[in-house]
């Protein structure tokens, strides 16, 4: 299969390249960058030295291919999406533009009018663990936000099976610096970011819209509240989720539901150990992997459940998840090109 990557000079584009160069059924036809045209890919992504012989093209210079990935800043892909759909029978957007199905909700959370609302219904929300069959049949995929996908995967089994009470569900997300993208800003400047544990979005996080859009399919009156904190970590997200269970739910029920939903899902790992250092999900050991770890602890007296979820925001949170979707769309093995197990120590 021949693929093209639009916006290949950013962090998400670099991860797509790293994964796809080693995918046995994929040939990268072209890679675009409006800021780096004519520059070698390996100059911008030095980890691809000796692997990549591509140079960045301009968007105006590329043609059609079997699948196009768009790795652009929020608000950009909607401006040209109809053109990309004409160039390829399969399109996977890693950005936010087609995640929210209601254009009024897009405007509410992103503060702009949606430029292409007439094709929103062509996009399937790309969480393979939940929408496996829909993704297999889709031609257009909206890749989820990194904090959204780990939160959705962590909560989905409990919400789907009616275990969560109708109290507010509180998500505390600790985020690495790469989730803010490659564009330089004061908040990512090293003297300002180093050593930081900084609350930057205590309320009103945009990914709330995606999380509720998915989980309200199973519990219509569910209310999600997200707080986000920047920590001194390049890759990774750890969410700590506080919710309350129905009175008769015990730990055996929790294990049964998790196994029921995820025992056949290759990229979800349930982590709850009684000994060792890594007893719960840990972003550090997931760097470079397409794995989402989920763990939990139920309060011994009461029905508070604390769920912990972790992943690499650039892989399972973005590029790896997108390749997982492509594998399903193309009929490849779901794990193809995504088998990297991670490193320890890091």
- What is residue 343's predicted lDDT score, i.e. its pLDDT? 94
How many Cα atoms within 13 Å fall on the side-chain side of residue 224? Answer: 28
**Do 147-311 and 2-144+315-330 have the same topology in CATH?**
no
10-13 long-range contacts (CB < 8 A, ≥24 apart) are 10/71, 10/181, 10/182, 11/178, 11/181, 11/182, 11/314, 12/71, 12/94, 12/181, 12/314, 12/318, 12/319, 13/69, 13/71, 13/319
Q: Give me the residue spans of the domains in the chain.
A: 2-144+315-330, 147-311
Return d(Cα 71, Cα 319) in angstroms, integer.
9
- Cβ atoms < 10 Å from Cβ of 78: 24
- CATH fold of 147-311 reads Dihydrodipicolinate Reductase; domain 2 (3.30.360)
Identify the residue whose tokens are 């909206």.
142
pLDDT tens digits in sequence order for the chain, 346 residues long: 999 999 999 999 999 999 999 999 999 999 999 999 999 999 999 999 999 999 999 999 999 999 999 999 999 999 999 999 999 999 999 999 999 999 999 999 999 999 999 999 999 999 999 999 999 999 999 999 999 999 999 999 999 999 999 888 999 999 999 888 888 888 888 898 889 899 999 999 999 999 999 999 999 999 999 999 999 999 999 999 999 998 889 999 999 999 999 999 999 999 999 999 999 999 999 999 999 999 999 998 889 999 999 999 999 999 999 999 999 999 999 999 999 999 999 8
User: Per CATH, is 2-144+315-330 categorized as 3.40.50.720?
Assistant: yes
- What is residue 181's predicted lDDT score, i.e. its pLDDT? 83
- Which residues does the annotation mark as catalytic? 146
């Amino acid at each position: 299969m021949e693929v093209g990557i639009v916006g290949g000079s950013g962090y998400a584009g670099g991860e797509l390249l790293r994964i796809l160069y080693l995918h046995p059924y994929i040939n990268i036809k072209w890679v675009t960058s409006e800021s780096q045209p004519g520059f070698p890919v390996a100059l911008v992504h030095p980890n691809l030295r000796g692997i990549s012989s591509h140079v960045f093209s301009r968007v105006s210079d590329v043609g059609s291919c079997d699948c196009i990935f768009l790795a652009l800043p929020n608000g950009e892909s909607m401006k040209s999406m109809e053109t990309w759909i004409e160039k390829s029978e399969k399109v996977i957007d890693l950005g936010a533009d087609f995640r929210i199905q209601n254009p009024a909700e897009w405007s509410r959370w992103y503060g702009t009018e949606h430029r292409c609302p007439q094709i929103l219904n062509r996009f399937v929300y790309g969480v393979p663990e939940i929408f496996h069959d829909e993704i297999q049949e889709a031609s257009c995929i909206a890749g989820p936000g990194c904090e959204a996908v780990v939160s959705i995967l962590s909560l989905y089994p409990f919400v789907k099976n009616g275990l969560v009470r109708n109290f507010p569900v509180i998500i505390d997300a600790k985020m690495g610096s790469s989730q803010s993208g490659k564009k330089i800003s004061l908040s990512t400047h090293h003297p300002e970011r180093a050593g930081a544990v900084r609350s930057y979005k205590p309320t009103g996080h945009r990914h709330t819209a995606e999380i509720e859009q998915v989980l309200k399919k199973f519990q219509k009156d569910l209310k999600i509240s997200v707080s986000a904190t920047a920590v001194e970590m390049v890759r990774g997200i750890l969410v700590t989720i506080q919710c309350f269970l129905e009175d008769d739910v015990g730990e055996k029920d929790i294990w049964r539901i998790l196994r029921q939903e995820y025992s056949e899902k290759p990229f979800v790992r349930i982590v709850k150990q009684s000994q060792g250092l890594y007893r719960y999900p840990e972003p550090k050991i997931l760097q470079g992997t397409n794995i989402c770890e989920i763990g939990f602890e139920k309060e011994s007296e009461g029905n508070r459940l604390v769920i912990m979820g972790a992943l690499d925001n650039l892989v399972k949170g973005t590029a790896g998840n997108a390749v997982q979707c492509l594998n399903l769309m193309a009929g490849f093995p779901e794990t193809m090109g995504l088998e990297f197990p991670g490193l320890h120590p890091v």
